[in-house]
Amino acid sequence: MSWFKEERKTSFIRTFCNNVIKAGQIPKHVAIIMDGNRRFAKKVKCERSKGHEKGFEKLTEVLEWCFDLGIPEVTVYAFSIENFKRSKEEVDGLMELATQKFDRLMEEKEMIMKHGVCVRALGDLTMLPEELQRSVARVVKYSQNNTKATLNVCLAYTSRHEISNAVKLMAEGVELGLLKASDISESLLEKCLYTSHSPHPDMLIRTSGEVRFSDFLLWQCSYSSLSFLKVLWPEFSVWDFYGAILSFQWNYKAFKDATESCRIKQTQAELDWELQCVLDEMAGVSVSVSNGNGHMPNTRSAFEQNGTTTEEIPLTNGYHGLQTSIHNVEELITK
Ligand code: FPP
Ligand code: MG
């Protein structure tokens, strides 16, 4: 099963709906919890693995719907750290499915370039089998400079794991004397998350009728428009999708006000921090991590200023950490 659909004419009704929706605000980033594959398998009396295969097919359809609407970024929850507790047979099956699909994506690499998609993998990739790490790394590396669209696939991911990693990273900075405890802020923590390169999702869709986050993007979805839908993931239809987008558009003003007030609060905190630095400097106190341009330090400048290169300390276990894990798997690729 290919990631890309053959080019075919969109029906009149779909084109009409797409145009109506495009007249409103289009989300810049959609996050999806693809839930209900096993219940679907049970419902249609097939193997669990078939349910997950159907789930993958649905993902390719949804990506096409997003592409048609001009949604530039999608993040999907493909495998949670909690999912490792499932039976060995199911976990092995899911790992094999993901490996096959990433290999298939690499076989279709001209389509990755044609669509300009940057594929990222978010999570603690070291928990995955080496073969999958290798397949993921090939695609991530191949597509890393694409800028038209982004697909983030969360694998071996949970939000609490991501946040505690970010906190550990900052603590390490403090322990090494590269940061002061007072440098720790919301914006610095954000820069240490796997998603540091992405805007927060404008909307989150979860299928299957479960109304919970299941440890997915807890930090990033604080202000997102939430759509919990009763449909099982393999049965998710374009009409369900349009409904979720319309609900986002309907709530857009509240969403925008909330994100804007959060942004103002963060900017204010940064300004307060800068003011404090200036006051400290005037009082003759050395400011160990100020980057000298009056800007809030990010993890990179904070670490680099002290002569520590990004190679020595992975700045986040997400993006930069992934680069590190790519370095490791690169050896495997060339083996
Ligand atoms: C949740 O349904 C689904 C998963 C844990 C796996 C999702 C994976 C895919 C759709 C394949 C993705 C593959 C790639 C390469 C991105 P569930 O198993 O929790 O079903 P249930 O809620 O009915 O028990
Ligand atoms: Mg489930």
pLDDT for the residue numbered 254: 85
Q: Hey, what are 33's tokens?
A: 């919890």
Q: Hey, what are 90's tokens?
A: 């199911």
Helix axes 12-22, 238-250, angle to 10 degrees: 20
Query: Which residues of the chain fall below pLDDT 70?
Result: 285-335
Residue nearest to atom 6 of ligand 1 (CA): 78
Q: Which atom of ligand 1 has the smallest separation from the CA of 39? A: 23
The ipTM is 0.98
Instruction: Give the 3-state secondary structure of residue 12.
Output: helix
- Specify the pairing of strand 73-80 against strand 225-228: unpaired
pLDDT for the residue numbered 285: 57
Instruction: Give the 3-state secondary structure of residue 226.
Output: strand
Closest to 144 (Cα-Cα) out of 314, 319, 279, 278: 319
CA–CA distances in Å: residue 4 to residues 62, 109, 284: 11, 11, 61
Between the CA of 42 and the centroid of ligand 2 the distance, in Å, is 13
Digit-coded pLDDT (tens) for 180-224: 898 899 989 999 999 999 999 999 999 999 999 999 999 999 999
Between the CA of 14 and the centroid of ligand 1 the distance, in Å, is 27
Residue of 40, 46, 52, 157 best suited for mutating to test ligand 1, as the one with most atoms within 8 Å of CB:
52
Between the CA of 255 and the centroid of ligand 1 the distance, in Å, is 29
Residues 6+ apart with CB under 8 A from 314: 320, 321, 323, 324
Please list every protein residue whose CB sits less than 6 Å from any atom of ligand 1: 34-39, 52, 55-56, 59, 78, 83, 94, 97-98, 101, 153, 208
CA–CA distances in Å: residue 210 to residues 223, 231, 304: 19, 10, 44
Q: Hey, what are 47's tokens?
A: 């193997």
pLDDT for the residue numbered 80: 98
Identify the burial level of 295 via C-beta atoms within 10 angstroms of its C-beta, where 0-12 means exposed, 13-18 middle and 19 or more buried: exposed
pLDDT for the residue numbered 84: 98
Residue of 3, 33, 34, 207 best suited for mutating to test ligand 1, as the one with most atoms within 8 Å of CB:
34
Q: Which atom of ligand 1 has the smallest separation from the CA of 98? A: 15
Residue nearest to atom 22 of ligand 1 (CA): 36
